[in-house]
């Protein structure tokens, strides 16, 4: 007998609700990956290769999930990852997610291509948030955006390095987001799809305006639609970037620097040598080069290589508090989650994101208690075993 599904609990529960609520093209933008989506699936399935080692009859009456992430206190070793265009999934979604993150006591990272601007998100509270940026061809834009971020209290920069070129995402092509659709196709993916989702149309489509990349408005004032902003952003991605550019960035950014998008010990080493305080083991959620290693499979070798010389986080495939536990046991100080919070905000707004984080915390407490760990720092490789 199927369950009643009255109260969403897991990332998958929120995903199903988001799929019902969102126009198809928007849902597929969150949900999809590159090419055949092999890496996207591996990111999730490879977590099952690592099993927690149950250890009983320990005093676990005081399990504590508090920790620090890149120098900041956090109630859970989780940060909300930057998700582009998230303000199209719920009304002013980035601001809602920031409020949820504040309430949960975890970091929130704002995307360069967010709908809500740095300034709008900063009005949510005085609690600092992180900002994610790409290396753009126009370095003056990079300087100006860093200045804006600093002026609103951002002290931690997440710099994404795995987007020198944009991955081929077939779902976006089929839906017309990447262009190429005729008039009938644009009508089907646009107005017709919006009209078939009336609650989204009213709450987000009408009440959630303006639907522009808030952080870029002053740089592309002639753009009047998301496709025009998308075209500008993609034209600004710089395929000539090297680690020397990261050294330049380190020279002009006085806060913490996180390099996101490394999958090998060699690249992690280069990030540290360029001045990174932390690295994020990541394949961009399987949205770039399909077929590469899952993030969780790549994590142990990087953790062993760096040996505490920089903080290590990971993202990609994290769907539960048990996954957070696994990642920490394999060498990550914490994880970043993207799709889970995007599903949750699309499904239930701020309340959904907060409820999902509470579920993550409960799941992590159980995993810690039944493996004999009472603190995040007490989770070690001995708490996990690899299944062949």
| Strand partners for 149 | none
Q: What is the pLDDT of residue 178?
A: 67
- 364/368 Cα distance (integer angstroms): 6
Question: The whole model's pTM is what?
Answer: 0.94
- Per 3-state DSSP, the chain is made up of helix, strand and coil in percentages (nearest 5) of 50, 15, 40
Residue 233's pLDDT band (cuts 50, 70, 90): confident
- Give the three-state DSSP class for 115: coil
- 242/336 Cα distance (integer angstroms): 24
Q: What is the pLDDT of residue 179?
A: 67
Cα dihedral angle (24, 25, 30, 36), rounded to 10 degrees?
100
Residue 324's pLDDT band (cuts 50, 70, 90): very high
176-209 residue pLDDT tens: 766 677 776 666 767 777 788 899 999 999 999 9
Q: What is the mean pLDDT of residues 358-377?
A: 97
User: Does residue 1 carry a pLDDT above 60?
Assistant: no
Q: What is the pLDDT of residue 170?
A: 84
- 201/152 Cα distance (integer angstroms): 31
Q: Does 284 participate in catalysis according to the annotation?
A: yes
Residue 135's pLDDT band (cuts 50, 70, 90): confident
Average pLDDT in the chain: 92
374 and 64 Cβ atoms separated by less than 8 Å = yes
Q: What is the pLDDT of residue 187?
A: 66
Of 197, 211, 284, 328, the active-site residue reads 284
User: Does residue 256 carry a pLDDT above 80?
Assistant: yes
55-91 residue pLDDT tens: 999 999 999 999 999 999 999 999 999 999 999 999 9
Tell me which residue of 284, 166, 285, 300 sits closest to 234, measured CA to CA.
166
Residue 222's pLDDT band (cuts 50, 70, 90): low
Contacts of 160 (CB under 8 A, 6+ apart): 82, 132, 133, 134, 260, 261, 284
């Amino acid at each position: 007998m199927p369950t009643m599904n009255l109260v969403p609990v897991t990332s998958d529960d929120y995903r199903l609700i988001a799929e019902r609520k969102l126009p198809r093209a928007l849902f597929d933008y969150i949900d999809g990956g590159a090419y055949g989506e092999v890496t996207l699936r591996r990111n999730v399935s490879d977590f099952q290769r690592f099993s927690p080692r149950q250890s009983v009859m320990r005093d676990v009456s005081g399990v504590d999930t508090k920790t620090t992430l890149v120098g900041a206190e956090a109630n859970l070793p989780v940060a909300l990852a930057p998700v582009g265009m998230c303000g199209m999934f719920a009304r002013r979604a980035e601001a809602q997610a920031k409020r949820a993150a504040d309430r949960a006591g975890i970091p929130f990272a704002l995307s360069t291509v967010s709908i809500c601007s740095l300034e709008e998100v900063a009005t949510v509270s005085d609690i600092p948030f992180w900002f994610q940026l790409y290396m753009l061809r126009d370095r003056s834009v990079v300087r100006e955006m860093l200045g804006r971020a600093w002026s609103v209290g951002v002290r931690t920069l997440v710099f994404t390095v795995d987007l020198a070129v944009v991955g081929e995402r077939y779902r976006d092509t089929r839906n017309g987001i990447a262009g190429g659709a005729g008039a009938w196709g644009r009508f089907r993916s646009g107005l017709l799809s919006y009209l078939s989702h009336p609650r989204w149309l009213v709450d987000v489509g009408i009440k959630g305006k303006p639907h522009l990349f808030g952080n870029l408005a002053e740089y592309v004032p002639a753009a009047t639609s998301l496709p025009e902003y998308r075209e500008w952003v993609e034209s600004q991605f710089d395929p000539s970037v090297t680690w020397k550019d990261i050294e330049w960035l380190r020279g002009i950014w006085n806060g913490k620097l996180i390099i996101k998008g490394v999958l090998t010990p060699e690249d992690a080493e280069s990030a540290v040598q360029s001045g990174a305080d932390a690295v994020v083991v990541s394949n961009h959620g399987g949205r770039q080069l399909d077929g590469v290693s899952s993030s969780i499979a790549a994590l142990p070798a990087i953790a062993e290589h760096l040996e505490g010389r920089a903080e290590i986080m990971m993202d990609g495939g994290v769907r539960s508090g048990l996954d957070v536990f696994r990642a920490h046991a394999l060498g990550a100080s914490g994880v970043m989650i993207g799709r889970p919070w995007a599903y949750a905000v699309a499904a239930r707004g701020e309340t959904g994101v907060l409820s999902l984080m509470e579920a993550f915390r409960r799941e992590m407490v159980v995993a810690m208690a039944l493996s004999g760990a009472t603190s995040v720092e007490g989770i070690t490789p001995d708490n996990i075993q690899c299944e062949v």
